Structure 1
């Protein structure tokens, strides 16, 4: 095989965005799953990986799965011998009430993750084999793969579930949306190069991405969760909504988020324009204070918290927020446009001593005397 890779044609390159868009829409779908198709997909995955057919249980959300479905299915997940030992231990502890109250909260048995690892490993190496065959047959630069990747950032969801569920949180799950990148790649190569190799793998990945939300796979049981009924992201792919929930599930599980930071309902249910600067004086969480500052804006903070004027230079004013509303003191440079009256506010380091020093910092070290301030 030649070391010289063949470049895609302009027409083929134009297809990259089309397939990326197609599979990102599927990854972010809020359409209810077809449970019959989802069950068939799970059976296909287990068969593909050489595993016995599990009992399949459906639930509305990962929260329901972790808090109710998995605990009630423990007898199918934990080995019988371990179950008997756990029951014996609990029986003995009942003879010692004081110790029992402590240990019952620390008896969580780690669920096995071998099925999840086996499924991921099997699918991944089958995919790598597919791509090697593609590279050898067409001598295509697989660097194009990065352009076809689908990024769905749900880290805020997993973090919030972990906070709310504690020891009940289970990391042993497969988010079907993560397989949309594989589908994007495989679908593209099939269309761009008419490459029909390993159709079984392509069909399996597509069924998984289209038919399931999350799968908790174990030897004797697989719990399948539905998709969210609502998903909102910002331009940086972080969960985000203003005055409404950022994510919701059919069972009512939901939460608010602002540019990737989970918000309590008292903030999230209100649009940032309704947020009050005085909340900064009562909020103990530094990250939430940062979000409130970002949402409220320094102009409103100056107005509502009555910033102290430290110095002035022409249309520039150096201000300080007297209250400790952030990790370090808030110093602000306010500029009033002479022609429009528009007020612009910029945060400056707390070490600045004068308006002129703040102006110099804001202009990358250029002092006011070195540039014309009038426009």
Structure 2
């Protein structure tokens, strides 16, 4: 029987470059309703590794990031996009000036199409209790930290640039990598230790950038910051310096998630 497009998207990993890597723990098998001790231990280690990766400011190999982006397009039947890199979210925001329409069909195909199909495939293979348990150990452990950082960056664009920010969010759909790490990591976990799925490419890209805008013909990627400081709750914070700063010099000060001016430090 011919596979539906939904089934193809769910299972088409397109040689994610990870096939030869040994499994980090015993594989989850279909119908399994609880984790083994080794699998349980790995969920905690995996969550910590994903948090460390998304918060890292280490320079990345842009060619590798672009490879994952092209594969994410490929699995939904799209041609390779032109890729444009930006030094900071503000640089990308400035580039949106004058854009009145951004084709959202690519975004919807990659985000909504893949997520729905992969979720359906995984849910058919594991019990609800195991799904919920992994969601608590992976998704929810990452979620608050990523959301705090992502919200801080969005708010950091500031009231002075309110028109840019409105244009950015309403017209272009800038995807904050920090905010979406939790659910992408969740599906990456299943791709690693259950069955490969097509969200792996987007999940790998997500940890290498600050964010992105995905159009049919062109994809915009934002480099990660060169400085990122935060408190124990994952809120942007520095008592002595900018809490976040990008290579083009854009950044700002914040204490425990609240933006402040430099003369208050």
The two structures share one fold, judged by TM-score above 0.5: yes
Correspondence for 2:3: none
Cα 1:5–1:55 change in 2 (3 A) is closer
Correspondence for 1:241: 238
Cα 1:183–1:115 change in 2 (3 A) is closer
Correspondence for 1:128: 119
The answer to whether the aligner puts 1:165 opposite 2:161 as a matched pair is yes
The answer to whether the aligner puts 1:265 opposite 2:254 as a matched pair is no
Post-superposition CA distance 1:315-346 (Å, at most 9, x none): xxxxxxxxxxxxxxxxxxxxxxxxxxxxxxxx
Q: Which moved more, 1:199-208 or 1:114-123?
A: 199-208
SS of 2:112's equivalent? helix
- Counterpart CA distance in 2 for 1:43 and 1:164 is 36
SS of 1:257's equivalent? strand
Decide whether the 8 Å contact of 2:237 with 2:257 is kept in 1: yes
Q: Which moved more, 1:8-17 or 1:228-237?
A: 8-17
- Counterpart CA distance in 2 for 1:188 and 1:222 is 26
* 1:122 positional shift: 1.6
SS of 1:141's equivalent? helix
| Root-mean-square deviation (Å) | 2.5
* 1:248 positional shift: 0.7
* 1:178 positional shift: 4.3
Cα 1:7–1:231 change in 2 (3 A) is same
- The counterpart of 2:138, out of the listed 127, 135, 148, is 148
* 1:54 positional shift: 2.2
Unmatched runs of 5 consecutive residues or more in structure 2? 1-30
Cα 1:206–1:121 change in 2 (3 A) is closer
* 1:179 positional shift: 4.7
Post-superposition CA distance 1:147-183 (Å, at most 9, x none): 2112212212101215242222212122334453345
Alignment TM-score, normalising by the size of structure 2 = 0.74
Correspondence for 1:207: 204
Cα 1:111–1:58 change in 2 (3 A) is same
Decide whether the 8 Å contact of 1:7 with 1:141 is kept in 2: yes
SS of 2:126's equivalent? helix
Correspondence for 1:253: 250
SS of 2:124's equivalent? helix
* 1:219 positional shift: 2.2
Correspondence for 1:175: 176
Unmatched runs of 5 consecutive residues or more in structure 1? 79-108, 271-375
Larger RCO, structures 1/2 (Cα 8 Å, 6+ apart): 2
* 1:127 positional shift: 2.4
Decide whether the 8 Å contact of 2:34 with 2:129 is kept in 1: yes
Decide whether the 8 Å contact of 1:33 with 1:213 is kept in 2: no
Cα 1:164–1:131 change in 2 (3 A) is farther
Post-superposition CA distance 1:338-358 (Å, at most 9, x none): xxxxxxxxxxxxxxxxxxxxx
Q: Which moved more, 1:152-161 or 1:126-135?
A: 126-135
The answer to whether the aligner puts 1:218 opposite 2:209 as a matched pair is no
Alignment TM-score, normalising by the size of structure 1 = 0.54
Post-superposition CA distance 1:80-114 (Å, at most 9, x none): xxxxxxxxxxxxxxxxxxxxxxxxxxxxx254433
SS of 2:247's equivalent? coil
Cα 1:233–1:134 change in 2 (3 A) is farther
* 1:129 positional shift: 2.3
Q: How does 1:311-350 map to 2 (within 5 A)?
A: none
- The counterpart of 1:40, out of the listed 67, 70, 74, is 67
* 1:251 positional shift: 0.6
> What is the number of residues matched between the two proteins?
223
* 1:32 positional shift: 2.0
* 1:33 positional shift: 2.8
SS of 1:133's equivalent? helix
Correspondence for 2:15: none
- Counterpart CA distance in 2 for 1:249 and 1:215 is 15
Correspondence for 2:227: 230
